[in-house]
Structure 1
Amino acid sequence: MALVSDGAFIADEWRRLADEESLPGAGKVIVSLGRVASALADSRHAAVGVYVANTADPKALADFLPRLALVDIAFPAFTDGRGFSLARLLRRQGYAGELRASGRLAPDQYLHAIGCGFDAIEIPDDLAAHHGEANWGKALDARSLSYQRGVAAGRSILERRRKASHAKPSLVEILAPRLAPLDLDHRLRLAREVIPGRIVFTTSFGIEDQLVTHSIFTQGLEIDVVTIDTGRLFEETIALWEKTEARYARRIHAAYSQALPLADYVAEHGVNGFYRSVENRKACCHIRKVEPLSRLLAGATAWVTGLRADQSQAREGVALIELDAERRLVKLNPLADYTREAIVAATEEFSVPVNELHEKGFLSIGCAPCTRALEPGESERAGRWWWEEDEKKECGLHVGPDGRLTRGPAPEGSQ
């Protein structure tokens, strides 16, 4: 079988399983409608698709659509167009995953398939040899003005459909229920298998971040582990940075504040001007943390954090996976539903190096001038910017301009 997408033959990353075949240990699988529920429940798979007849009832798919990465519709004959109608119905129901047409289709039907919502066409090898890749490309180039690239709307129908099929809301919806029952190691592994492109984990060397770092390094996952050196870190944090690199034999690269904006800030407000007002403190955080973070995340498709929902009132709504609409990327919080007690137990079990300051009452650790040890009965993040009264104190890494955690639907045109 040959797979056609965007007018060219491409490699097929999916494996179609017959009903008598066992589910493999990993990978992208396409199963029959009768097996789709069990396949979706099997957390070993990076993504699950379903193949259906062109006579399938869309209602039978409705419960599965948010979690299906692909729907493969059969075309038993060149003259049978019922698959086109089914594709239109699925798109009208809001399905944003990949739609594939499989069968004896010809280049003459390509534009109509795209208009109905299909992203790819799978054809038998004999048809691929007969028509050839060039004919599919010509069919795509022959589209009318409304199908052409660069028209007033900004994208062709094909480009809009391909964009919708890879939209991050769909990816979040697919991953969220599959991540929930997994432990940290399996959550990170699944995310790396499913999320394309560069994934970045930013560590501040707190106990949560150390556990995530341990999981990434010991599993050998292709996730960049980076940090932000604000220039005001505790000596204990610097020592842990070095100790962590030695333990895992991996370098943790850092981003630093830009010299000129920092010099201007100190010249205007003084070296510790952040104590004088919330505005001054947030400006300092922006220069020392937020701007360097934007450079670390440049070109990334996903950002991994050590956020927990029970760390503070401001973070109680943190989800395992969500959209950072401000930065237009997927944000994975694999410890969102962990308690501090569970994390402490895990670091002890695996002998993960942790910051010595934790034993001195510093449960949340930031810059040295802005962090103090907790008093009995105080909340976990009460020692951060303790001179401020706001209970929802954040440095700006995880909030938007409105002061709220950055999450929600992706902006129009985001990817």
Structure 2
Amino acid sequence: MNNARRNFIKKSTALAAATGLSAAFPNLYSIAAGHAQQKIRIGAIGINGMGWADLNAILKHPDVVCTALCDVDKNVLDKRTKELADRGIKTKGYNNYRDLLASKDVDAVVIGTPDHWHCLQMIEACQAGKDVYVEKPLGNSITECKAMVAAAKKYDRVVQVGQWQRSQQHFKDAMAFVHSGKLGKIRLVKAWAYQGWMKSIPIKPDAPVPAGVDYDLWLGPAKKRPFNPNRFHFEFRWFWDYAGGLMTDWGVHMLDYALIGMKATTPKSIMAAGGKFAYPEDAAETPDTLTTVFEFDDFNIQWEHANGIDGGPYGRNHGVAFIGNKGTLVVNRDGWEVIPEGDRMEAVPLQKKVDNGLDLHAVNFIEAVKSRDKASLNTPIEAGAHIAIFSQMGNIAYRTGKKIYWDEEKGSFNDTDADKLITASYNNGYTIPQV
């Protein structure tokens, strides 16, 4: 084969690869084919669940390379390191996230750790000059969320929150329809997550810390307790020390769109009722059944969740319904439709999803890192903080058993029991960073 033909084939192959990526993410790449540019070096902290999914979505971007992984579970770290090595990606492994943040070979980080770690790691990443993709919910308390927003601003960092539904086109189309006024006056918005796959968590005795796990580092600022397998890895979500149950796990996704659709901000009042009705004797602390009402001037937003049941409203196990005088728009991850109120408007058949929200969210983050345009983020930190705080207010209403009222000027509920829950308890020598 002569050199001219060999060079032609090389260029054609490269162009085909670039074209394939452009087809996967149309109009999202700003770099022209063949234009050399230094890759953005990514480090991932917490790589067992969504942190791993987030990293893999980000790695689909051609201008990214992964250089570092961190996990307090050496078994997970070794597994992920090998998986990347098998794909030709060489990384350095860390047990302590602070060592990763000190690395000069990392430009941006993915934070996929349990909720109680998000605040410390995100703020310290900003202090270290790293841009951040942080899993939802942004923080585990109202105070944490406010500190995280302040840190991103002070250190001028690009921070994307992992509410990837904000990058999906069908959700945007649904919101455009809601805002069109065609549904008539909307007086109630329902948001829900009915999770049939979530079974009872059997009570288990405390146990020795598994080999390879740095349990003290996993606990971090959480209360010191003996190791219990029920509180580790995925199941941490159902314990108040580390997270907020389904209200902050799924609520930040569904309630986010309730607020976007209604162009709403702070509720006048919040009240909640529920409990462990499905599995009263199991190990979880957070409620498996909950109804929460957020009151606004001329409409309400209602949240529902239930473990062990898939039969949610409108035959969907998750979603948001905007109930208007002329019709109801229902949207979830599968698509959206409009159900007319009698003959007051035309039905809109199911408009199915057309894209991969997580992949698009990852691209949006990397493009913002490249351009330094924080306004281009689909879920900037301010948006992630707002919905995390909103969801936490629902949990505070449930935990106090009171109808509560937020005083924005004072940053208080003006209620002793509720105000105690504004700030997460930090232990083991850890404190919320002063920004």
The TM tier, using the shorter chain, reads under 0.3
Name the structure, 1 or 2, with higher relative contact order (CA <8 Å, separation 6+): 2
Calculate the TM-score normalised by the size of structure 2: 0.24
Larger radius of gyration: 1
TM-score, length-scaled by structure 1: 0.25
